[in-house]
Chains A and B, each alone.
Chain A
Amino acid sequence: MKVKEFMTTKLEYVDGDRSVYDAIEKMVDRRIRSVLVRLPGKEAGLGVITARDMVFKVFAKGMDPRTVKASEIASKPLVCIDQETTFDEAVKLMESSGVARLFVCDHHGIVGVVALLDVMAASLIMRARGDHVSP
C-alpha cells in the first residue's frame, strides 16, 4: 500500500505570529490533530504543532496559550515523503526519525499527512485484505 492511499488530506495552517490559542481553536473546530505553522522571518518555512506540543510546551509549564506564539512551540523541520512511498518505508522512516507524523509532498507543496492513527488504520485494512504487513 502506498501513502497516497491512506494519508489524510485535511490540512490546516496558522501563521507563526498567531497565538497557540488560535491554533487550538482551529484544531477543535476542524477536528484535526495537528496544525501546520507558517514560520516567520529568517526561518521561513513550515513547522507543525500537535496536541502533544500544546500540552507539554504550554499547559504543563503553566503558560498562557493566548500569549505564546505558534512559532515558538512548532516542531521543525517537517519530515516529508513522496506520495508513492510504500507503507513499509513510511513506518521505517517514522521509527528511525522518531516522529509521529510524516508530511506528504509533491511539487505543489504539502498534499497530505500520515500520522500514527493513519498507519494503524492502513495496517488494519491490509490485514483485512490479507496483504502482508511487516514494517
Chain B
Amino acid sequence: MFLRRFLSKGSKEDEVIKDMAHHIDLLCSACKEMHEAIEKDDRSLARRVLDLERDGDAVRREIISHVYEGAFLPYLRPDLCRFVEIVDSIFDLLQETATHYLDVILPEQLRRDCVQIAFLNAGACEMLHISFEAMLRGEDLREKSLAIRIYEKKIDDMKFSLIRDMRGLPVGNFWEGKTLSDFISGLTSISDIIEDAGDHLEIIHLSIK
C-alpha cells in the first residue's frame, strides 16, 4: 500500500493503519445501526450505537498512543491524529443523537425524512472508508471527496424543510420539544463532520505526495 510503502518501516505503522481502518469500520457500523434503529423504530439498536462509540474510543486511544510512541514520520503525525480526532467527533455526535433517539417522541410525519437522512449518513461514511482505502493505495481522492460532498448536500437540502416541518408540530412540553430538536439537529449535522474528515484525508494525501 502506498502510505505503508512510502512512510512505514515497521509494525507500529502497520498497527496504526489497521486501527484507523477499523476505527472507520466501526463508525460505518454505528451509522448503519442508527439508520436501522430509526427505520424499524427499534431503540435497542440505538443502544448498539452507544456500544460502538465506546469501542471506537478504545481504538482511538490505541492509535494516538502508537503515533506518540513514534509511528510515522514526525511531520505526518499531527495530521494523522487530527483525522482520528475528527472521526472521533463523528462518533460523539452519533452517540449524542442515538441518546436523544432513546427519549424522543418522533412524529410519524418526520420519520421518513429522518430515515432517509440516516441512510445518507451511512452512505457518506461508507464513502469515507472507500476514500481512506484509496489513500492507502495512493489513488486520487477527488472523485471520492465529491461523492461525500454530494451526500452532504443532499442532507443539507432536506435539513431546512425538516426543521420547518418540525416547527409546525405541537409538542407536549419544553423537554419533549428540545429532545426532538436536538435529535434532528444531531442527525442532520453528522454528514458535515464526515465531510471534514474527507477533506482532511485529502490534506494527508497531499502531504505525502
A127–B142 CA distance with the chains assembled, in angstroms: 11
On chain B, the residues within 8 Å of A10 by CB distance are: 113, 157-158, 161
What's the least CB distance linking B161 to chain A, in Å? 6
Q: How large is the interface on B (under 10, 10 to 19, 20 to 34, 35 or more residues)?
A: 10 to 19
The reply to whether B161 and A128 form a contact with Cβ atoms under 8 Å apart is: no
A127–B158 CA distance with the chains assembled, in angstroms: 24
Asked whether any CB of chain B lies closer than 8 Å to the CB of A84, the reply is no
> Which of B112, B113, B146, B160 is close to A128, meaning CB atoms less than 8 Å apart?
B146
- Shortest beta-carbon contacts, A-B, top 9: A128-B147, A128-B143, A125-B147, A121-B150, A128-B144, A9-B116, A10-B161, A127-B143, A124-B147
A43–B188 CA distance with the chains assembled, in angstroms: 39
- 8 A Cβ contacts from A100-135 to B: 111, 121, 124-125, 127-130
Given A31-B157, A128-B144, the answer on whether A9 and B150 have CB atoms closer than 8 Å is no
On chain A, the residues within 8 Å of B144 by CB distance are: 128
The reply to whether B160 and A31 form a contact with Cβ atoms under 8 Å apart is: yes
What's the least CB distance linking A116 to chain B, in Å? 14
The reply to whether B157 and A111 form a contact with Cβ atoms under 8 Å apart is: no
The reply to whether A111 and B112 form a contact with Cβ atoms under 8 Å apart is: yes
The reply to whether A129 and B147 form a contact with Cβ atoms under 8 Å apart is: yes
Some 17 contacts from A to B, beta carbons below 8 A apart, are A5-B119, A8-B157, A9-B113, A9-B116, A9-B158, A10-B158, A10-B161, A30-B161, A31-B157, A31-B160, A121-B150, A121-B154, A125-B150, A125-B151, A127-B143, A128-B146, A129-B127
On chain A, the residues within 8 Å of B126 by CB distance are: 129
Q: Is the interface of B mostly helix, strand, loop or mixed?
A: helix
The reply to whether B112 and A124 form a contact with Cβ atoms under 8 Å apart is: no
Interface string of B154-188 (1 = CB under 8 A from A): 10011011000000000000000000000000000
What's the least CB distance linking A95 to chain B, in Å? 22
Asked whether any CB of chain A lies closer than 8 Å to the CB of B123, the reply is yes
Q: Residues of B at under 8 Å CB distance from A?
A: 112-113, 116, 119, 123, 126-127, 130, 143-144, 146-147, 150-151, 154, 157-158, 160-161
On chain A, the residues within 8 Å of B112 by CB distance are: 9, 111
On chain A, the residues within 8 Å of B151 by CB distance are: 125
What's the least CB distance linking A33 to chain B, in Å? 10
Q: How large is the interface on A (under 10, 10 to 19, 20 to 34, 35 or more residues)?
A: 10 to 19
Q: Residues of A at under 8 Å CB distance from B?
A: 5, 8-10, 30-31, 111, 121, 124-125, 127-130
The chain B residue with its CB closest to the CB of A122 is B150
Given A9-B112, A9-B116, A111-B112, the answer on whether A125 and B161 have CB atoms closer than 8 Å is no
On chain A, the residues within 8 Å of B147 by CB distance are: 124-125, 127-129
The chain A residue with its CB closest to the CB of B146 is A124
A127–B161 CA distance with the chains assembled, in angstroms: 29
What's the least CB distance linking A79 to chain B, in Å? 22
On chain B, the residues within 8 Å of A5 by CB distance are: 119, 123
On chain B, the residues within 8 Å of A111 by CB distance are: 112
A9–B151 CA distance with the chains assembled, in angstroms: 14
The reply to whether A128 and B158 form a contact with Cβ atoms under 8 Å apart is: no
A9–B143 CA distance with the chains assembled, in angstroms: 25
What 20 new A-B contacts, CB under 8 Å, besides A9-B113, A127-B147?
A: A5-B119, A8-B154, A9-B116, A10-B113, A10-B157, A30-B161, A111-B112, A121-B150, A124-B143, A124-B146, A125-B127, A125-B147, A125-B150, A125-B151, A128-B127, A128-B146, A128-B147, A129-B127, A129-B130, A130-B130
